Amino acid sequence: MLRIVEEQEINNSTTLRLDGRIAGQWVEVLRASCEQFFQNDRRVTLDLTGVTFADQDGVQLLRQLSRQQIALVSCSPFLQEQIKHSTNGLSSSEPKNE
C-alpha cells in the first residue's frame, strides 16, 4: 500500500509525502498523481521519508520522475543506491567497473 499526502503548496510547487511501498499497482497510482501536477504546469517534490520499499518498477518510476525535474527528498541511502544504479543502466546482476 502507498499513501500519497499533498503536504505543501508554495509558489506553484507541491510536496507529496509518500508512505509505504512503491510497488505493484501503486507505481501507476504514483505516476498518475504526478501526471496531474505536470498537466497543470506545477513543480513537484516527493518526500520519500516514509517509503519502506520500492520494487524494480517503482525504482524505474522514481528515476524517470527525477529526470522530469521532480525533486526526491529524504530518500533512504538504500533507495538512493537503487536509483543511482538504475540511472547508470546497471542491473543487480551486472558487475560494476571500478
Q: What is the pLDDT of residues 1-45, one digit of tens each?
A: 999 999 877 788 899 999 999 999 999 999 999 998 888 888 899
Residue 51 and residue 21 in contact, taking contact as beta carbons nearer than 8 Å:
yes
Residue 72 lies in a domain: yes
Residue 43 lies in a domain: yes
The beta strands (E) that lie in the chain are given as: 2-10, 13-22, 43-54, 71-73
- Which one-letter DSSP state was computed for residue 37? H
- For residue 85, the model assigns a pLDDT of 84
- For residue 87, the model assigns a pLDDT of 55
Residue 9 lies in a domain: yes
Give the domain CATH number at 7. Answer: 3.30.750.24
Torsion of CA 87, 91, 94, 98, to 10 degrees: 20
Structural domain that includes position 33: 2-87
Residue 95 lies in a domain: no
Residue 98 lies in a domain: no
Total domains present in the chain? 1
Position 92 pLDDT exceeds 80? no
The set of cell numbers assigned to 38 is 505536470
